[in-house]
Structure 1
Amino acid sequence: MSRILAIGDIHGGLRALVQLMERAEITPEDRLIFLGDYVDGWSDSANVVSYLIELAKQNTCIFLRGNHDDLTHRWLKSGELNDKWLQHGGQSSIDAYRQFSDKQKEEHITFFEQMLNYYIDKENRLFVHAGFSNLKGPEQEYTPTPLYWDRTLWEMVLSIDPNLKKGDTKYPKRLELFEEIYIGHTPVTRIGKTKPFHSANVWNIDTGAAFKGKISLIDVNSKEVIQSDPVWELYPEEEGRN
């Protein structure tokens, strides 16, 4: 039976990603929705992109754009450097591409360019890396930037009264637009969680792979969660990175 699987932030942790795919027993019938941030973090950023390119040849994959993907793409395409990007994982991506040919880099640039800023399925479930701020929905954003940088959506759902329901006058209008919303970007480890966590109708699948956490996926229909080992344990030679 086919599944719809949402996969959280990866941040260069190819070993954990491969482990996760094996544990989930991925088949070509599964639809895989990657929520972004494939790069910047562990040493396999470029190899993660190569892996995903090959995976998409066998599986139905939807790749969403994360903020780190946008910054790495800018550097690959034009050499653009951002000091904060370098401090928050960008240098690891630069290092990872040192052994890649110009032809390989061009293939990766195409991959980055073809990413989606958001995806809405036929059940009216929204998948987006970070969030959105426009009350009319992500398609009404004046710039795509909030879709891979916004944290206000997640902050909002964590602060609202859990007793509020759709239709209540105080229920946030953004949440009424979709049946469910799946995001990454802000690690749930910041609120002491180790598995994908939801509040209201928003599911956050970022379980801190860039730091001491795992890569996670969720079956959006059954809500089954599958996780890798903590990524740092699979990169013992990089233990001092964090």
Structure 2
Amino acid sequence: MNGRLIAIGDIHGCAREFEELLNKLELQRGDRVVLLGDLINRGPESARVLALAREQAHLSLLGNHELRLLNYRKTSDPTHLKKSDYDTLKQLGRRDWAYMAAMPLTYFDRRDGVVLVHGGFLPDLPWRQQPARIVTRVQNIDRDGNPRKRSEAPNCPHWSTLWQGPPFVVYGHTSRPQVARLKWSLGIDTACAMGGRLTACILPEQKLVQVKAHEVYYQP
């Protein structure tokens, strides 16, 4: 397949930065833009991000923020939601919900042996068999081998440090000031909504293209 494979990290409603990054990438025919989930929440323009995704992306993967809203829509149970989700709910229309409901968990590029995912994988299970609750949420691995948030198990290792590959994994979800580059993985959530950068990775050469956030939209 001709064209570039381009992974873009967590956008979180930062439509202005997303548009600038797309312009900076100078997309060409045959390019495949894959968004690594968490297109929504935190930033101000979730619906606009989803509209741009429908126009420009080859595919968008399911993130924990999309999963949370989809679970709420299925159950009407408000315990699925966080305070900032309510602003997003006001923006979403029928096409937005349909787009999120169709998001797959992973994208595998067989030619280059690269898998794209939102959160990551448990290192001791086949990656294709891992469910949404793991691959959209995993950060650290506790002493019993269970997936945890960084805040829940701050002294336990991040899953990527235990991942031996293949395949090579490009992921988002774990926000950091800089990309996290290891032998078998690359983390590209650089905290755009928190005033960091929005990062794209062009594969297989792993070339990074970034834009700076215009402001701090969200403080954890």
* Band the TM-score falls in, shorter-chain normalisation: 0.7 to 0.9
- Which residue identity is paired with 1:120? F
- Which residue identity is paired with 2:88? S
Aligned to 1:214: 197
Percent identity (aligned):
21
1:201-242 superposed Cα distances (whole Å, 9 cap, x missing partner): 110010001212111101122222111122426xxxx6xx53
Inter-partner Cα distance in structure 2 for 1:219 and 1:108: 27
Task: Select the residue among 128, 148, 152 that pairs with 1:139.
Answer: 128
Inter-partner Cα distance in structure 2 for 1:202 and 1:231: 28
| Preserved CA contact (<8 Å) 1:72 1:93 | no
**Aligned-pair CA distance for 1:53:** 1.4
Give me the TM-score of the superposition, normalised by structure 2. Answer: 0.82
Q: Structure 1 226/137 Cα, relative in aligned 2: closer, same or farther at 3 Å?
A: same
Inter-partner Cα distance in structure 2 for 1:221 and 1:176: 16
- Which residue identity is paired with 1:94? L
| Preserved CA contact (<8 Å) 2:123 2:164 | no
Inter-partner Cα distance in structure 2 for 1:78 and 1:44: 25
Inter-partner Cα distance in structure 2 for 1:131 and 1:47: 26
Matches within 5 A, 1:162-177: 172=162, 174-177=163-166
Q: Which has the larger radius of gyration?
A: 1
Give me the TM-score of the superposition, normalised by structure 1. Answer: 0.75
Whether 1:228 and 2:206 are equivalent positions in the alignment is: no
Whether 1:112 and 2:77 are equivalent positions in the alignment is: no
Aligned to 2:68: 71
Greater share of residues in helix: 1
Task: Select the residue among 170, 180, 198 that pairs with 1:182.
Answer: 170
Between stretches 145-154 and 19-28, larger displacement belongs to 145-154
Aligned to 2:24: 23
The structure 1 segments of at least 4 consecutive aligned residues displaced by more than 4 Å after TM superposition are none
**Aligned-pair CA distance for 1:78:** 4.9
Whether 1:155 and 2:163 are equivalent positions in the alignment is: no
Task: Select the residue among 88, 91, 106 that pairs with 1:96.
Answer: 91
Inter-partner Cα distance in structure 2 for 1:134 and 1:197: 17
| Preserved CA contact (<8 Å) 1:217 1:227 | yes
- Which residue identity is paired with 2:28? T
- CA RMSD of the aligned region, Å? 2.2
| Preserved CA contact (<8 Å) 1:42 1:92 | no
| Preserved CA contact (<8 Å) 1:133 1:152 | no
